[in-house]
Every structure is written in C-alpha cells, then in structure tokens.
Amino acid sequence: MTIFNRVIPAVLVAVLGLATQMAAAQDKKPIRFGLCFDLSKSYTFISPQVAQAAQDLAKYTNDNGGIAGNPVEVIVRDHGNEPQRGVECYEQLKREGVFLFNFLSTPVTNAVLPRAMKDGNIVLQSFVGRGDAVDGKVFDWIFPVGPTYWQQAANDVAFIKKKMGGNLGKAKIGFIYLDYPFGQEPIEILKTLSEKEGFELKLYPVPLPGSDQASAWTQIRRDKPDYVISWILAGGHVVASKEMKRNGFPIDRYLAVNWLNEVDINNIGAQAAKGILRGTNVAGGQQVPLVKTMLETFYAKGKGSGPESLVRDVYYNTGLAIYSVGIEAARLAIKKNGSPLTPESMKTGFESIKDFDANGLMAPVTVTPEDHGGGGKTRVEQWNGSTWVPLTDWSADYTDVVWKVIKESSSKFTVK
Amino acid sequence: MDLILLAELAVNGVLTGLLYSLFAIGLVLIYKASSVPNLSQGGLTMAGAYVVLALAHDMGLPLWVAIPLAAVVMFVFGMGIERVALRRLAGRPVVMILMMTLGIDIFLRGTTLAIWGGTSRSVDLGVSYEPLFVGDILVSRIHLLGAAVAILLFVVFVLFFRTRLGIRLRAIADDYMASWSVGISVERGVGLSWGLASIVAVSAGIIWGEIQGVDQSLSLLLLKGLTVAVLGGLDSIFGAVLAGIILGIIENVGSAYLDPFVGGGSRDLIMAAVLILTVMLRPHGLFGRTDIERV
C-alpha cells in the first residue's frame, strides 16, 4: 500500500468529519431574541421584569438542551422609549442576524413596525403597539399574542354583566382612564357595548401621569357607578385606591387593566387593597409551575438573572408568558421545517400554536394566520389580602364586536 | 348648576393649588437670588423624596427623624450644586445657567433611576384616607396637610426675608453688582437660596410622594410649579401662593365642566392657557417686579 493509499482515506475521513461537525454546528445556530427595551425612562416599571424573565427562560431552555439542540440567546438593549433609538436598535441587531424582536413600548413598536413588515422580520408585540396588529392577514409579521386593550375592555364588560345577573340594562359603568392614547383606546369599544347592552357609560379622564384624580373621583362619588373600569398605570392605581377610600367607593368594584402589579399592591397596602379586581391574561403569583421552576432552579441557588424581588411580580410572569410563546413557536417551527430557523419558518411556528398555556401560566392561546392575538382570552382576578384569586375562567367575549373594530382599523394600514 | 359640587371642586382646587405653591416656592427662592428659573426643581423634589425614603425605609429611621435629616442632606446638596456647577457660570449669559439647571435635572433623574429603579415607592405619613366631610363637602386630609405646610413655609419665608440674612438675599435679588460692591457675598447668597429651595423640595416631595408615590413622575411637577411661579410673578412668594390657589380653582372647576364637552384633556389645556396668557398679557405675573419685563 502506497502512502497515498493510506493518507487519502485518512484525509477523506478527516474532511468528512469536519464537514459533519460544521453542518452540526450550523444546525445548532443560536436562536436570538432581540429585546430593545426602555430600560431608562417610561417603561421601567415593567421592562426589567420582562427582560429578566426572558433571560431566565433562555437559560432554563439551554440547560435542558436548547430548542432541538439550538441554544437560545437573549440580547437586551436600551432604547429609552425613543422611537429613533428603537429603530437604531432594530437596524443594529438586524445586521447581527437577529430576526425576532420585541420593543415593549407603543411609540417605538409603531415606529419600527413598517420596517419590520418590509424586511420580513418577526415582532413580538404583546400588550403594546397597535391593537389591530392581531389581524394576521394585514400584519403578517407581527405577533401581539395576548389580548388587545379592546378585547380586555370587552371581557371586563362581560364580567360585570355576569356579576349583575346577566343584564346591564340598568347598570352604570364608569371608565377612569389616563387621558392619552393608552387610556383612550378602549373608549370606542365601551361606547359600542354601551349601545348594545344598554348600560350607561360614564367617562372620567385623568391627566398624565395619573396623580391628580381628585375631581374624577368627586364625580364618581356623585354618579355612583356600579363598577369602575380603570385604564391607569402603576402609581395611578395607588392614587385611585386612596381616592376610593376618601370618597367611600368600594374597592371591590374597581376593575383594573392588566397593568396592576405587586409593587402597586404593596404601595396601596396589602390589606387596604383587599378586594381590588384585575383583568389579566397571565396567572399571577409564584405558585404557577413555570415561575416555581425558575425560583427553585435558579433563585434558590443564587443563579437567577437578576434580583429575586423581580420574580415576585406579575410582570415577571408576563415576561415568561411572552417568551414561552416565542420559544414554543421556535420549537414548532424547527419541528415542522427543521434547522436553521428562518423568519418564514418562525412565522409558521407561531401560526401553528394551538391551545398553548405554558403549563397554566397564561390564557390558552391559539394563533392562526388570521388571528395573531391567539384568541384574546382574559380572566378577572381579585386580591384577597395576600394573593390573587381567579374569579372567572379564561374567556373572550364580544369577539364579533372587537373584530369589527380590528378590521375597520387594520383595513386602513398600508406599508409604504 | 349643582352648587355643592361647584363648592367641593373649588375647595379641593384651593388645596391642590396650594400643593402646587409648595413646589413653586422653591422656584421663587432661586429666582429671587439669581434671576434664573430653576429647571431642576422637579428633579430636586424627586431627589428629596428619595432621600427621605432611603433614610426611612432603607436605613430604618423613623419618619420624624428621616424628614429633617433629609432636609439637612438636601440643603447641603443644594449649596453644593451652586458651588460646583453654578458659581463658575457667574457673568455668563442667563441661557447658559438655564441650560445648566436643565442638565442638573436630567442628571438627578438619571441618578435616582440608577440607584432606586423606576418602580414607584410609597410614603406613609400616617394620614387617614377615611372620608372627611365639612358640611356637604368632602375634603382630602393629605391635601389639607400639604396646604398647611405650604402656608407655614410661606410664613417662615416672609419672616426670614425680614432677618439680616434675608435682607442680604433681598439685596442680592435687587442688584447683585451693588451687593458685591458693599461686601455682600453674592455667591453665598445664591448658594443659600439653592439650599433653602432644596429644603422646600423635600417638603413638596414628601407630600406629593404620599399622594402619588415616589417615582420619576414627581419631576413632572415642574410644569405645574413653573406655571404657578410665572402667574404669581417669579420673584414673589406671596404671588406663588395666590397663583397656586387661582390655578388650582380654575383647573379643578374648569376641567370638571369642560371635560364632558371636549372629551377630556382640558386640565392640561387650562394650565397651558394660563401660562401662555400670563406671558402674553402680564409677563411679570400678578405680583412680580415689573422690571422683569425688561430683562
């Protein structure tokens, strides 16, 4: 046997081995989630919790073999709630090969959305941005999995209807809201439902940042609504709770938007907050299996991605919910189309999600090419002095009314 | 017209307005000594509240110790701002000093955010929130307390400006060149006004912190405070108190009757209208010195 007869097979084996290894390495390309968040200005009451949840979930997924062997990578950047910085963050991460984004800010999301649509990159947009983006036929790359504010408000009305014996004919419902687009968004739906169900709708705008509610609650005391639905943020709930007490309005008739967390409860006072209601699509508390797992796996060993106090906050659960959906979508995408993950396969992955509730963490979502919101289910929870107790099952009501508004709005959208 | 509602809106407007005055007094103190509207008064107010919380919650001191201690800390801090940042700008155009105060505000917001985060923290002064009716009118106890603090500070400063030190400050406000020439230390006077404004910031921060929680939004009080200070006349403490009451009533009563017609948002419009009209029609405000116009 000549030297060539010995060397060539050896070289071939080596080259083949290397090629296999390279193919495997290519197969195991990291799945990268770009989190361009406001870590320094308006959204700081939620963004650290969501970012920490995403990092914990990525770490947990990687410790358990990744998604079909692909590691998950979470890249966090600050955009300070400035649209231009959000666009810069998007462009920079896009150049680095990221195609899964979340901006967790309505103005920034709205600024980036047309670019992402044009580029064919995925934007996770739960709880922020345009409500009509759940229309998958128009916003094909946008995935606002979770309820829109329109759907949340409609579900709140359905809850009140149930509480009032199934008839809202003689009911009076108050709506206290921050007088800017976030707070104003549900008004049209509420007006439509007021006409449909025959209840009297009373509107109580409060100026930003929600600290001055005295005259609104003076009116509420005099109008005596049966329930007050609240679209106020953070410290605004604390002010509202004090005004409720001062004006003798029962706190168990105050139904808050999902943005009411443990920090607010602590600021109101755990006992003083007893009875307060919250509409949500995410189960609160630390007894939720996935949250429990994070606490036991990481925080009990001092290996969490941040302070444990942030885990004991419903916005951490919200973050886990958002990224559980993202990871489930990636898993389904790889299962269906194999590696490497592409924006197209990820889109298919999202649109294949069916009855997914992240093991009891959130309302079951079914995402379809038509409905990128996943169904819009929420439930109402009540603070009992120490924890949140669900009062209803997950449900989505008045979906016909809500989708009429969604279609009307989305039909006006075009990407230039 | 529902007269009881009108009366309640007006009374609560007066109380809220006095809380704006509490903030505005700090602005007036600095303006009196240096002729510069201090754009960092919002940041100082927020920082004052955070210092109280740091001493009370984080270090475990009782509030009655933490509040005066915070006042001392903030007094020194205010003096320090003048010494480090503003003294070197003496003789420069007013706009540069104005920009410096804006920079200080941004610095304070960034620093408090980095140290204490963005989540709201509560202050518990032990004031009851049980309904308090005076006749048919519901009154807020915490607003009542805040109004009392504002009036108390007004009286204290009126008396202070009659003391030797106060007269020096008034002299600086009148003519700092002349004050220099007669041996009054203008730098110390301006420093003192910053220190006093920082003490006012602690009291405003703690009352507003009790009402709305302590977070970054406390710094937004600057807009209301500035409107009150401009309406009252930037160099008049009495003007700040009276303007606060006027703005509080107009805002509270006006918005309650206008909001249903315009679909909300009239409160900020009223504030903007007051500010614009004051600057257009009476630039020196209700009680300000008329020579401010010429400046």
Determine the residue among A105, A212, A268 to mutate to test chain B binding: the one whose Cβ has the most chain B Cβ atoms within 10 Å.
Answer: A212
Query: What does each C-alpha distance from B11 to B16, B134, B244, B248, B250 come to in angstroms?
Result: 9, 10, 13, 9, 11
Determine, yes or no, domain membership for B215.
Answer: yes
Q: In this complex, which of A48, A203, A212 lies closest to B264 when CB atoms are compared? A: A203
Q: What is the DSSP letter of A78?
A: E
Size of interface A-B (CB pairs under 8 A): 104
Cβ of B212 within 8 Å of Cβ of A235? The answer is: yes
At A92, list the tokens: 């920079």
**Three-state DSSP state, A173:** strand
Cβ of A266 within 8 Å of Cβ of B129? The answer is: no
Residue B108 phi/psi, 5-degree rounding, is -65, -40
Write out the H or E segment, with its range, that includes residue A32: strand A31-37
Nearest CA in chain B to A176: B264
The pLDDT assigned to B176 comes to: 77
Any bridge partners for residue A35, and if so which?
Answer: A76, A102
Nearest-CA distance B131 → chain A (Å): 4
Nearest CA in chain B to A236: B212
Cβ of B120 within 8 Å of Cβ of A215? The answer is: no
Nearest-CA distance A134 → chain B (Å): 28
Helices (H) and strands (E) in chain A — how many of each? 15, 12
Which range of A310-324, B80-94, B172-186 scores highest in mean pLDDT? It is A310-324
Q: In this complex, which of A205, A211, A214 lies closest to B217 when CB atoms are compared? A: A211
Determine, yes or no, domain membership for B242.
Answer: no
Is the Cβ–Cβ distance between B193 and B157 less than 8 Å? no
Residue B261 forms contact with A (CB below 8 Å): no
For chain B, how are helix, strand and coil distributed in percent, rounded to 5?
A: 75, 5, 20
Cβ of B122 within 8 Å of Cβ of A239? The answer is: no
Is the Cβ–Cβ distance between A274 and A383 less than 8 Å? yes
At A43, list the tokens: 């959204």
Is the Cβ–Cβ distance between B157 and B204 less than 8 Å? no
Return per-residue pLDDT of chain A as tens, 416 residues.
444 455 455 544 444 444 444 444 445 789 999 999 998 877 888 899 999 999 999 999 999 999 999 999 999 999 988 899 999 999 999 999 999 999 998 889 989 999 999 999 999 988 887 889 999 999 999 999 988 899 999 999 999 999 999 999 999 999 999 888 788 889 989 999 999 999 999 999 988 778 888 888 988 998 999 999 999 987 889 999 999 998 999 999 999 999 998 888 988 999 999 999 999 989 988 889 999 999 999 999 999 999 999 999 999 999 999 999 999 999 999 999 988 899 999 999 999 999 999 999 999 999 999 999 999 999 999 999 998 899 999 999 999 999 998 999 899 887 66
For chain B, give the percent of residues with pLDDT over 90: 57
Peptide bond just before B68 cis, omega within 30 deg: no
* Residues spanned by the domain of B24: 3-219
Rounded-to-integer distance, Cα A364 and Cα A321, Å: 11
Is the Cβ–Cβ distance between A46 and A39 less than 8 Å? no
Residue B122 forms contact with A (CB below 8 Å): yes
Is the Cβ–Cβ distance between B55 and B71 less than 8 Å? no
**Number of independent structural domains in chain B:** 1
**Three-state DSSP state, B6:** helix
Residues of B in contact with A45 (CB under 8 A): 118-120, 215
Determine, yes or no, domain membership for B246.
Answer: no
Residue B168 forms contact with A (CB below 8 Å): no
Residue B138 forms contact with A (CB below 8 Å): yes
Is the Cβ–Cβ distance between B263 and A225 less than 8 Å? no
Q: In this complex, which of B2, B117, B129 lies closest to A246 when CB atoms are compared? A: B129
What ipTM was estimated for this complex?
Answer: 0.71
pLDDT at B294 over 50: no
**Tokens 């209601």, residue located:** A277
The pLDDT assigned to A225 comes to: 96
Cβ of B12 within 8 Å of Cβ of A215? The answer is: yes
Write out the H or E segment, with its range, that includes residue A34: strand A31-37
Determine, yes or no, domain membership for B274.
Answer: no
| Closest alpha carbon to A61 in A262, A324, A400 | A324
**b or e along A338-377 (b: 16 or more beta carbons within 10 Å of the residue's beta carbon)?**
ebebebebbbbbbbbbeebbbeebbbbbebeeebbbbbbb
Beta carbons within 10 angstroms of residue A324's beta carbon = 23
pTM for this one?
A: 0.78
Any bridge partners for residue A124, and if so which?
Answer: A102, A143
Residue A75 phi/psi, 5-degree rounding, is -110, 120
Determine the residue among B1, B57, B112, B212 to mutate to test chain A binding: the one whose Cβ has the most chain A Cβ atoms within 10 Å.
Answer: B212
Determine, yes or no, domain membership for B126.
Answer: yes
DSSP characters over A352-414: T--SB-TTTTB--B---SSBTTTT--BEEEEE-SSSEEE-S--B---HHHHHHHHHHHHTT--
Determine, yes or no, domain membership for B271.
Answer: no
Determine the residue among A267, A271, A309, A316 to mutate to test chain B binding: the one whose Cβ has the most chain B Cβ atoms within 10 Å.
Answer: A267
Determine, yes or no, domain membership for B294.
Answer: no
Determine the residue among B119, B142, B145 to mutate to test chain A binding: the one whose Cβ has the most chain A Cβ atoms within 10 Å.
Answer: B119
Q: In this complex, which of B9, B141, B267 lies closest to A218 when CB atoms are compared? A: B9
Nearest CA in chain B to A181: B265
Cβ of B268 within 8 Å of Cβ of A207? The answer is: yes
Determine, yes or no, domain membership for B74.
Answer: yes
At A22, list the tokens: 């390279």
Cβ of B211 within 8 Å of Cβ of A245? The answer is: no
